[in-house]
């Protein structure tokens, strides 16, 4: 039987993979995907805590995180498309548009 502790351990593993993806990848799309993985791991953790302690607050907070993640993805992809049109590359180490 699945327990909240098992779900929290899965959430920790997902968050760790997301952190490694953000730190080790140079492609901006893969970095955005890793951030989404971290947000989904946080949502899973909120749901597990709401399951362990019968409360609706964790589920409501997870819905707010999902809405914020959708906005972040839309804005992030729009910025990446604009950068790609100007630079023809989305490698993070090559982007220096904001340098003065």
Q: What is the pLDDT of residues 18-49, one digit of tens each?
A: 999 999 998 889 999 999 999 999 999 999 99
Per the structure, the count of domains in the chain is: 1
- Predicted TM-score (pTM) of the model is 0.85
Residue ranges making up the domain that contains 11: 4-94
Does 34 fall in a domain? Answer: yes
Given a contact cutoff of 8 angstroms between Cβ atoms, the answer to whether 97 and 83 are in contact is: yes
**Quick check: is 59 in a domain?**
yes
Q: How far apart are CA 51 and CA 13, in angstroms?
A: 19
Per the DSSP assignment, residues forming a β-bridge with 91 are: 27
Q: What is the pLDDT of residue 97?
A: 63
56-84 tens-digit pLDDT:
888 899 999 999 999 989 999 998 898 88
CATH number of the domain where residue 84 is located: 1.10.287.3510
Residue 99 placed within a domain: no
């Amino acid at each position: 039987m699945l327990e909240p502790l098992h779900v929290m351990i899965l959430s920790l593993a997902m968050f760790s993979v997301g952190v490694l993806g953000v730190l080790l990848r140079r492609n901006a799309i893969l970095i955005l995907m890793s951030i989404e993985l971290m947000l989904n791991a946080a949502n899973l953790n909120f749901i597990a805590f709401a399951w362990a302690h019968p409360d609706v607050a964790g589920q409501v907070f997870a819905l707010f995180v999902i809405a914020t993640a959708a906005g972040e993805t839309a804005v992030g992809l729009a910025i990446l498309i604009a950068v790609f049109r100007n630079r023809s590359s989305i490698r993070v180490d090559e982007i220096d548009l904001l340098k003065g």
